[in-house]
Structure formats: structure tokens, C-alpha cells
Amino acid sequence: MSESKKYLLTEKDIPTAWYNIIPSMPTAPRPMLHPATKLPLTPEDLYPLFSEEAARQELNVTDSWIEIPEEVRDMYKIWRPTPLVRARGLEKMLDTPAHIYFKNESVSPVGSHKLNSALPQAYYCKQQGVTNITTETGAGQWGAALSLATRMMGIDLAVYMVKISYNQKPYRRSIMQTYGAEVIASPSMSTKAGRKIITDHPNYQGSLGTAISEAVELAMSTPNCKYALGSVMNHVALHQTVIGLEAEKQMEMAGEYPDVVIGCFGGGSNFSGISFPFMRHNLSGERSTRFVAAEPSSCPKLTRGVMQYDYGDEAGYTPLIPMLTLGHNFSPANIHAGGLRYHGAGSVVSQLKTDGLMDAVDIPQLESFEAATMFARAEGLIPAPESAHAIAAAIREARAAKEAGESRVILFNLSGHGLIDMTAYDRYLAGDLANYEVTDEEVARNTSGLEKII
């Protein structure tokens, strides 16, 4: 660990444009469909939901580069550029010939990469005079990021937090409240979707799908109020490309280029952020890097999901998205990596995976915590349970390199730290955690009613 080396950029190296991968894709993703008309979405269809600029970015299939507003770049300077680290401590612990690098997104004030998109989303809302935003949060990383971003913009925020997390993760809730956000346990009595589910199932502990339905409903029924989402959507992946664009420069400083790029996978925001800038060199034929999304075995949308049109939420308020999905009613086991408990992948990643331009692996919960603990002891940083999946995949790669007796340059994204998740570590160290399997029958049952993509 004493030899681990940081590669640092200066503020002027913060990218001036986000990278939009869509124009370079060999097969463009199918269009999202309006939930009522089933016609392809237009930006105008999204205006009631998102800021106009976010709506335009969401459906922009022509511009490879989209300028980052000067004001957003100024806010990025609060913690960006983030360090790239050569993890020599971990290499030594694994006795591997591989070179392991990680991009450290945990250094943001909210402890994760989520602020990269929360800031521009709040900024665009502010620009058009929006006074209120709603959102949902599972584990709380996105909710914390948007709480800070809206506070900086002087916008009021209401966060629907999955009830089980609201009760089990009071630290995350307190962080949002400290920044001044209103946090509501979901399902709640404040929306039609919430009241229905409470009436039908009084003890229901909530899900991300329900919380999205509540947040969308409140945004649609409140004047001057928009909704913001922390993953899945194209504009979120777009904003996250600052991660990979910086990492590209830093790998150059290190004099190497990754053979494999790894990110953990919930809805796709951090995986897309670290991967897409490197993937553009594959798409142009210059490179042949492998890309690996690391998802939990208990929520295996990429490795076992079905490519279908599906809703982003439980109640079916969102557009129909062409996605690799386990079905919007799929209820994943209550693993500690709450940020990865989402049923589907965004349309771009779903298409890239379908076209064989990226891989995915599934990681059992115990393997993720074993990897996290090794990493903490080797590199000093306690990773978020979500990020631990990327570490586990990186360790698999490093071990494979050792077995093959070959060098290999591995880059993964450390999307966040785990200091708010110590309960999970406590339970792991006490031997109280388990692995969870998903049966084929579960997948088939939850995806059977969905519109197939032909």
C-alpha cells in the first residue's frame, strides 16, 4: 500500500464536454415509447418530467460531445478532478502480474459519483425557473447527492426513500436532512400510488419502483416542479462520462491503456461513466478493450434479463424503455448494495450488451464483501457495498492474469465509499450475511407480460 501511486490532474483538466456514445453505436438503441400512446418519445413529451435541457440530452442521438456549462464545471471543481490510483497494495496482496488502477469517485463531498449528474440536473432546472424537485432514493447515495445539488441551487427537494432503507439506514436520511431536503418514507400517504399500495399491503416495506412512482406523481401534479433520476437514463450516463474522460488522461500519465474496464452495475450510471469514453476507441476500431459490468447475483438483469420494453417504475408512469430487464415487478433480495437493486438496465447499455460490445458478470454478496475487506486492508479505503462488486470483478481479472502468467492492465471505478454502510461490514465480519439466488422461474414470471423487442 505504501507504494500505491496517485495520478492527479488540475482543475483545467476537468472535461469541457460530456461524451455522448449514441451517435457512434453500430446499432442505435430503439426509441423509448410514450406510456400512453406507445409512440416514440419526443423531447416535448419529457418536458413535464425533466428540465428541457435534460429532455433534449436524453433524446440527442446526433451530437457526440455536449458542452458542460461553465457554472457546472465551476461546481465540479469542488472535488474534481478525482484521483486515479495505481493499487499496488492490492496487487501485492494478490501477488499478481496485473496492474490494477482505480478511479476514486468516493472523494466527492457526498461520497459517491452521483453528484456528477445531480449538479447539472439541478442547474438546468434552476435555469428554467423550477422551484421544486422530487426524486427517489434506495440506499441513499443519489438522494444525498441531489440534496446537496438542490441546496446549492436554492431549489426545494422532496426525496421518497424506500421505507426499509429509511428505517435501517438513518445515517443516509440524516445526511439528506442536514442538507435541508425533505425525506419521506415510501410508500407514503402523499401520493395516489403510495396510498394504493399502503391500503393493499399495510406492512409493505417499499421498493425503488414504488418510490419512483411516488416521486413522478408528485412532480407531475405540482406546479413548477420537476423530477430527477440518478441512473438508467441517457442524460445521466452522459453526465457521468467525466469519470472516464478524466481517467483516460490519467492512464496516459501512467503510460498505460486498460485491457479491461470495470464498473459495478445498478442502472448503469457509474459503469457508463467510466466505460463509454474508453469504448469510443473500440467503436472507432483503434482499441479492443474489454468492458465488464459487475452486477449482484441477486439482481442479474444483464446476465439473465430479457431484452424487452419495460417501465422504469412499478406503477407504469415512466416511458417504456427498451431494456435488459427482470421485469418492473421483480423484487430483488435485500442485499446491502441497495444501489444495485434495480430491475433493468438503461437502453444504451442494454443495446451494447446485446451487440456483444461489453460483458457482464454477476457477483454473489459474500464475494463482494470479501473483496471489499481485502481492498480496505490493502488500499486504506472502505468501499461502498455497490463498488465492492467492481472490486470483486477486478480481483477475478487479476487472479486470471496470474494463472495465465500474463500482464494485464485493469481499470475499475470506485464509485463511492462505504463509511455510511458499516452496519453491512459489521454483519459480514460477524458471518451474518448470505448469498441470494434468482430462479429462472422468477425471471420468466416477471418478464412474461412485457412487450417483446423483435
Nearest distance from C-beta of residue 123 to its own copies, angstroms: 9
With contact defined as beta carbons under 8 Å apart, do 438 and 300 qualify?
yes
275/358 Cα distance (integer angstroms): 9
Nearest distance from C-beta of residue 31 to its own copies, angstroms: 36
What is the DSSP track for 174-186?
A: HHHHHTT-EEEEE
Cross-strand pairs, 416: 112
Given the complex with its own copies, which of 137 and 191 has the nearer CB atom?
137
Interface residues with its own copies (CB under 8 A) are: 1-6, 8, 10-11, 71, 74-75, 77-78, 89, 107, 109-111, 148, 151-152, 170-175, 177-180, 373, 376-377, 379-382, 419-420, 422-423, 425-426, 429
* C-alpha to C-alpha distances, 336 to 51, 186, 273, nearest whole angstrom: 32, 18, 23
Residue of 144, 313, 122, 312 lying closest to 228 (CA atoms): 122
Nearest distance from C-beta of residue 144 to its own copies, angstroms: 10
SS3 446: helix
Nearest distance from C-beta of residue 225 to its own copies, angstroms: 21
Residues 6+ apart with CB under 8 A from 417: 106, 111, 112, 381, 382, 383, 384
Given the complex with its own copies, which of 275 and 387 has the nearer CB atom?
387
Given the complex with its own copies, which of 10 and 203 has the nearer CB atom?
10
- Max alpha carbon distance in the chain (Å)? 62
Q: For the chain, give the number of residues.
A: 454
Given the complex with its own copies, which of 66 and 115 has the nearer CB atom?
115
- How many other C-beta atoms are found inside a 10 Å radius of the C-beta of residue 6? 10
Which residue type does 78 have?
I
Question: At residue 7, what are phi and psi to the nearest 5 degrees?
Answer: -115, 115
Given the complex with its own copies, which of 4 and 269 has the nearer CB atom?
4
Nearest distance from C-beta of residue 128 to its own copies, angstroms: 18
With contact defined as beta carbons under 8 Å apart, do 36 and 119 qualify?
no
With contact defined as beta carbons under 8 Å apart, do 364 and 433 qualify?
no
Given the complex with its own copies, which of 147 and 275 has the nearer CB atom?
147
Nearest distance from C-beta of residue 81 to its own copies, angstroms: 10
Nearest distance from C-beta of residue 422 to its own copies, angstroms: 4
Which residue type does 142 have?
W
Given the complex with its own copies, which of 6 and 201 has the nearer CB atom?
6
Nearest distance from C-beta of residue 54 to its own copies, angstroms: 19
Residue of 441, 452, 138 lying closest to 304 (CA atoms): 441
Residue of 270, 280, 271 lying closest to 248 (CA atoms): 280
Given the complex with its own copies, which of 75 and 299 has the nearer CB atom?
75
Nearest distance from C-beta of residue 406 to its own copies, angstroms: 28
Given the complex with its own copies, which of 2 and 37 has the nearer CB atom?
2
With contact defined as beta carbons under 8 Å apart, do 242 and 116 qualify?
yes
